[in-house]
Structure 1
């Protein structure tokens, strides 16, 4: 099924990003940022299927020149140097040589380039190995300024494009607002994609409008992301996965409602067609109703099962004192929709079964004798009423579960603030399962961001050191000048003793500063300089600093999840990292040594097939991180025959 997706975001220096680095990563190429003197090399990256560059008026320029020009055109520290648009390419158009889907992405890029007079860099990507294998997509990187070529052939970036103008500027120019212009872009992508689908005989279509704008009562599912998808495939439930399951259950109830309404309307029409006949004639409507009820009962089994699972999950989380899942405004609206559904259903039911007063009005002044119901009709009527009552009770339970989940979530972590990027946080069934933090970028991008931040910290620390050395040199210069002046004006007779004192004192002052300068220069960048650099970046670029700190947490959580998964695959609870582990060695194989500790079974890969450890004996295995290299090493293990009190405590 073809799925619609189009999103956009700016590439801004305030978030620590650059256009050169972004295009290098997305296109899988190597580019040197001439402004920073830094080369970004992603030539070994996999998954890049095709790249291209669309320019207005067929301007000829290569990527290196284009994006370095984009960086040089901006001089503020928070400038936007590019805009990214991500589009989902229907997998139906990526069959065979995938040429159709690639041409679709390039034609859309050409439309944007022509309309806004900007350069558009296109990179078509294959689905992530961990995610949905139908998720073919393209990254479009747009220049924020219009690109022009003068009569001498020189290419330059001029005014900001329409997409980068403020709403005030757009209004003055008689153009659509940013929000309305984005809707036009979304519609253009849907229209072009549907043209391609139709031309290639594919019945699927995409729609850029929201469910609300399309008049649908169903709710859209939330994008999973490859991290959550991989965890779900491995049997680990996630918040976003639970949310989608609830949405699907609700959508199934909407489909059931529509089917019931359709059948009740058909039943209502039959009654209207038989107004002159007795209320319960040979047509026996309740027998038909009983048959439909049996059919509907089977169809709604899946929905009720989902609701039951939802209830059990809520009870389990109450026991563990964990929030059921992140409940959005959409979840809270579910209860209101269910109430509305019940009211509409009740009204239809009343209309479909005429009362005796209605029967009287139809037949005139003479009141017809109401026929006696047969045993089958009475049973069908009773079952019919019980079915509706059961549905009402179960939907009230479903609504109560949603309300309880919202209350527990707010009690635990406070009211949720909506965020466009959804969580892939794990709902752990056991204490050793990892908690994946919310992620906005994929792990590779976050790793690159951390590396870039580390280099920036080092450069800033070096600059701090250089400034300190420069300050010492400036402080020493007048003292040295004073010393040279004294030296050149040595008295012949009077004042010679005072001159010697002044000269020696001045020389001592100079030497003290010089020794400090030389010592600092020899030591180079120290931990104190690094700390000052981090504090300076955090103060000057708080959003960038916060983003990096979050990225560090996310990468650590992701790596920890991988380690925990690997440990479980090898029959252990965790893999040894920093710290000291005390306990008995219970197994040694090619995977490592297995140690029984108070916290569970710890796998030590360092001791794979080791002969230095003896099965059944207790060891104190120490893993510590050195200050200089940051590498983890393991000192020689030793047997502990009589453990100390500290070793007997839980570690």
Structure 2
């Protein structure tokens, strides 16, 4: 299964974090001037920023597309000492996809879920760190916390943006965007946005269904003698046992061996093409679910 990450945090003034200007400069790898202090936040030496872009609603003024002007406007508009300056979304990008697909993938999701609601999105896409996991491509998105109008920000924030249900929608839709991109590229990997417990429950039900299907095919086949059926059913039983703890690598190895033996057993005994096709289809699905 491809890696999935979707995290959200709020950037506040006076919370021991960078200002909105500093946060934007760091994520984009740029030098931005804080107009209120005359001090520049300079991260122009940061490496690994593959793409940077601002996407705003069509009604937004021109300054909304200028990173320095945008975040200076945010800082001046928010007066409270503990003001919420931005919402940051961090997304893992599937290493299975070519990097050339990342901009289209991220931008499509951002336009659909953020910009369409009136937010301005400051996007940066990053390569893995030299000393880290080479698959760790990711995107950071800074979002304005107020809807933008033709001239400036709205005086009232939209309370719907803080609802848990909307966060759940974002998580689900990001997974769907990734899976659509994987499918379009002919990649047989998928992500799941659900909590691990929910994934395990769904996984167990699907595995159980496939093993039941395999047993039914074998038991109902009239061309197999009793010993053939016993041999194949024993392999299915072993697979069922091993798949119960599929996260364990040693269990996966044993399951891989059991699948190999089951395939060999199928080839050794005479049977109809329909039986072989049905069993092989189930075995391939088990392989994918066990990720082996």
Task: Give the TM-score, by structure 1 length.
Answer: 0.33
Work out the CA distance in 1 between the residues paired with 2:86 and 2:226: 71
- Between the aligned partners of 2:129 and 2:59, the Cα distance in structure 1 is 33
Does residue 210 (structure 1) correspond to residue 211 (structure 2)? The answer is no
Contact 1:126/1:135 (8 A) holds in 2 = yes
Q: How many Å separate the matches in 2 of 1:105 and 1:56?
A: 16
Distance 2:193 2:186 in 1: 21
Question: For 2:193 and 2:34, how far apart are their aligned partners in 1?
Answer: 37
Aligned to 2:5: 5
1:192 aligned counterpart, secondary structure: helix
Q: Which residue of 2 aligns with 1:28?
A: 29
The 3 A distance-change label for structure 1 pair 290 and 8 is closer
1:266 aligns with 2:215: yes
* Partner SS state of residue 107, structure 2: helix
CA distance in 2, matches of 1:85, 1:194: 19
* More relative contact order, 1 or 2 (CA 8 Å, 6+ apart): 2
TM superposition shift of 1:290: 10
Instruction: Show the counterpart of 2:178.
Output: 193
Separation of aligned partners in 1, 2:213 and 2:95: 40
Matches within 5 A, 1:96-495: 98-149=99-150, 155-162=151-158, 165=159, 170=160, 178-214=163-199, 216=201, 262=211, 266=215, 270=219, 283=226, 288=231, 292=235
For the pair 1:78 / 2:82, whether they are aligned, the reply is: yes
Aligned residue pair count: 241
* Cα offsets for 1:277-311 (capped at 9, x unmatched): xxxxx9469964996499669969x999969xxxx
Structure 1 pair 49–214 and aligned structure 2 pair: CA distance change class (3 A): same
- Which ranges in structure 1 are unaligned for 5 or more consecutive residues? 150-154, 171-175, 219-253, 275-281, 308-651
Could you tell me which residue of structure 2 aligns to residue 41 of structure 1? 42
- 1:52 matched to 2:53? The reply is yes
User: Are residues 289 and 210 of structure 1, via their aligned partners in 2, closer, same or farther at CA, if it must alter by over 3 Å?
Assistant: same
Q: Contact 1:118 / 1:147 at 8 angstroms: preserved in 2?
A: yes
Give the distance between the partners of 2:58 and 2:132, measured in 1 at CA: 38
1:130, distance to aligned residue in structure 2 (A): 2.6
Give 1:177 shift: 6.7
Question: 1:56, 1:113 within 8 Å by CA — same for their partners in 2?
Answer: no
Deviation at 1:119, TM superposition (A): 1.1
* 1-structure distance, mates of 2:237, 2:162: 54
User: Residue 616 of structure 1 aligns with which residue?
Assistant: none
Change in Cα spacing, 1:76 to 1:217, as seen in structure 2 (3 Å) is same
Q: Deviations over 1:457-509 (max 9, x none)?
A: xxxxxxxxxxxxxxxxxxxxxxxxxxxxxxxxxxxxxxxxxxxxxxxxxxxxx
State how far apart, in whole Å, the 2-side matches of 1:198 and 1:304 are.
Answer: 27
The offset of 1:112, in angstroms, is: 3.6
Q: Tell me what 2:71 maps to.
A: 67
Q: Is the 8 A contact 2:211 2:240 kept in 1?
A: no
Q: 2:29–2:49: 8 Å Cα contact kept in structure 1?
A: yes
- Partners of 2:71 and 2:112 in 1: how far apart? 20
Q: Conserved in 1, the CA contact under 8 Å of 2:52 and 2:123?
A: yes
Residues of 1 paired with 2:233 and 2:58: CA distance?
70
Structure 2 residues not aligned, in runs of 5+: 252-292
